Homo-oligomer: A and B are copies of this chain.
Amino acid sequence: MSLYGELANRLREHIEHGFYKRGDKLPSVRQLATEHGVSISTVQEAYRVLEMERLVEARPKSGYFVPRESTNDRLPETSRPPQRPLEVSQWEQVLNLLSNRPANTRIQLQHAAPVMIGNTIKPLLKSLSELHRSRPEWGLGYGDIRGHIDLREQLSRLAVSSGCQLHPDDLVVTSGCQEALSVCLRAVTEPGDIIAIESPCFYGAMQAIKAANLKALEIPTHPEHGISLEALELALDQWPIKAILVTPTANNPLGFVMPEDKKQALYKLAQQYDIAIIEDDIYGDLTYEFPRPRSIKAFDNDGRVLLCSSFSKTVAPGMRVGWIAAGRYRDRVTHIKYVSSSMCPTLSQLALAKFMRQGGYDRHIRKMRTLYADSRDHLLEAIQRHLPSSTRVTRPAGGFVLWVEFAPEIDTVALTEKAQNKGVAIASGALFSATGKYRSCCRLNYSDQTPVLREEGIKILAELIRTEYPGAYS
């Protein structure tokens, strides 16, 4: 473990065991450096980790403190999924969610679609339109089966910001991240194999596991630090797990960013058990912290990490452009991508390549990052104000969805239907479990609507809960 990782662990223990109390000032950077015989930057790095976990708060000019009002009070607990590989169910529920027409919904907190209005996306739409006007013939033929080289070049440059050295030839362009995940799952498994996943987990990944005739082993996951490495190691000892599929950076649905040392430890574990990691980085560029954290792929020195991503959350899902950096699995991935849908449309790839080359992508995500961070705070306030005090909620470090855990008696499957009748769409937690657990949880987005509408949506949920579960507010 790194020096700063060790120091962070020690400080974390002291805070968690109450050695430092709420509101306490923590030792200064200089003090700790001397005390532990490490450099100033090591201490700074350790504090950065704890800040990300929100165990520590930096106050300008005054130093580091233990936050007075710990948001962790209302955090959900580490999840406790069933401890064996299972077939994924819940397809009916996912289909219902996917089929929900926008027309039926006044307040949309259900789908994970990004904000797609505003000036920063316009240059992309403009060049897409221009290409269709002036170069329609470029869009007609079969293109490169690995994706257009212009786009792969830009993607290889973008990868640097997450700490990856990727050659354009390491990349395969896909029809969104959904295809990327499906292809990678098929590339590293045989039917019947077991995949370890976070719990809760994005339903699309689980349905891909189901369709590839695989079993899912849900691993307990902490709402702020991600998948439990202890639980994962136990599972690896007990079951012939073929790959680990995780979304470690701005997780859907929990919103956490797994600390860097933990990412590294996860990679080591995969190495030790000689298995693959499928890393879904679709929200990776949308962490509120900047520069963005490194991906697990950044630590990959033997090609066992298959990084999957797309522009669906950073730009627009309708582009249907994603990619895979498949390491040592590249050739199998190319084969399965080809049989899966052959090539991807050329003009969208070209327009995105230009958007990136001209700095439009960076400008856009910079703006989105701030927008989502603010929206998160608004939504958290609305939740705190209106929902029962027993409600627990995550505090995402990126992306635009959060996870709500109600008291156990509240059934969000029923609540979803009742809310839909009042024009409010939410996603029941049951979708994010292989077996329909998390029925007392739900996922809410904070991208689609204005703060006012979002708060109204929360109020409507609160009213429904008050009516259906009068005990919740007592």
- Mark A residues whose CB is within 8 Å of B: 91, 94-95, 98-99, 111, 113, 116-117, 125, 128-129, 132-133, 136-137, 139-145, 174-176, 178-179, 182, 186, 190-191, 204, 207-208, 210-211, 213, 316-320, 334-336, 338-346, 348
A95, A210, A345: most-surrounded residue (chain B CB, <10 A): A345
Find the B residue at minimum CB distance from A310.
Answer: B342
**A345 contact from B142, B204, B345, Cβ within 8 A:** B345
A175 to B142, alpha carbons, bound, how many Å?
A: 12
A335 touches B211 (CB 8 A): yes
Contacts of A319 in B (CB 8 A): 139-140, 345
Contacts of A338 in B (CB 8 A): 94-95, 98, 178, 204, 207
A190 touches B213 (CB 8 A): yes
A409 to chain B minimum Cβ distance, whole angstroms, is 32
A139, A176, A191: most-surrounded residue (chain B CB, <10 A): A139
Number of copies: 2
A175 touches B178 (CB 8 A): no
Contacts of A340 in B (CB 8 A): 178-179, 182, 211, 340-341
Find the B residue at minimum CB distance from A98.
Answer: B145
A211 to B335, alpha carbons, bound, how many Å?
A: 8
Contacts of A334 in B (CB 8 A): 95
Contacts of A179 in B (CB 8 A): 340-342
A125 touches B129 (CB 8 A): no
- Contacts A140-B316, A140-B317, A145-B99 known; A341 to B176 CB distance under 8 Å? yes
Contacts of A178 in B (CB 8 A): 338-342
Additional A-B contact list (4), CB under 8 Å, known A91-B335, A182-B341:
A125-B132, A139-B318, A320-B343, A320-B344
Find the B residue at minimum CB distance from A122.
Answer: B136
Contacts of A116 in B (CB 8 A): 137, 140-141
A334 to B98, alpha carbons, bound, how many Å?
A: 11
A99 to B229, alpha carbons, bound, how many Å?
A: 42
A286 to chain B minimum Cβ distance, whole angstroms, is 17
A194 to chain B minimum Cβ distance, whole angstroms, is 15
A130 to chain B minimum Cβ distance, whole angstroms, is 9
Contacts of A210 in B (CB 8 A): 339
A281 to chain B minimum Cβ distance, whole angstroms, is 17
A198 to chain B minimum Cβ distance, whole angstroms, is 18
Contacts of A117 in B (CB 8 A): 137
Contacts of A132 in B (CB 8 A): 125, 128-129, 132-133
A91, A99, A186, A318: most-surrounded residue (chain B CB, <10 A): A318
Contacts of A344 in B (CB 8 A): 175, 320
- Contacts A132-B132, A191-B191, A341-B340 known; A140 to B318 CB distance under 8 Å? yes
- Contacts A334-B95, A339-B204, A339-B208 known; A129 to B140 CB distance under 8 Å? no
B182 touches A316 (CB 8 A): no
Find the B residue at minimum CB distance from A205.
Answer: B339
**A317 contact from B91, B141, B207, B317, Cβ within 8 A:** B141
Find the B residue at minimum CB distance from A348.
Answer: B345
A128 to chain B minimum Cβ distance, whole angstroms, is 6
A195 to chain B minimum Cβ distance, whole angstroms, is 13
- Contacts A129-B132, A142-B111 known; A320 to B335 CB distance under 8 Å? no
A362 to B182, alpha carbons, bound, how many Å?
A: 36
Contacts of A317 in B (CB 8 A): 140-142, 342-343
Find the B residue at minimum CB distance from A137.
Answer: B116
**A204 contact from B182, B318, B342, Cβ within 8 A:** B342
Find the B residue at minimum CB distance from A174.
Answer: B341
Find the B residue at minimum CB distance from A213.
Answer: B191
- Contacts A129-B133, A136-B128, A317-B140 known; A186 to B211 CB distance under 8 Å? yes
Find the B residue at minimum CB distance from A134.
Answer: B129
A308 to chain B minimum Cβ distance, whole angstroms, is 13
Contacts of A346 in B (CB 8 A): 318
Q: 5 A-B residue contacts at CB 8 Å?
A: A116-B140, A178-B341, A179-B342, A190-B213, A340-B341
- Which are the 8 A-B pairs with shortest beta-carbon distances? A175-B341, A191-B191, A140-B316, A179-B341, A178-B342, A125-B136, A129-B132, A208-B339
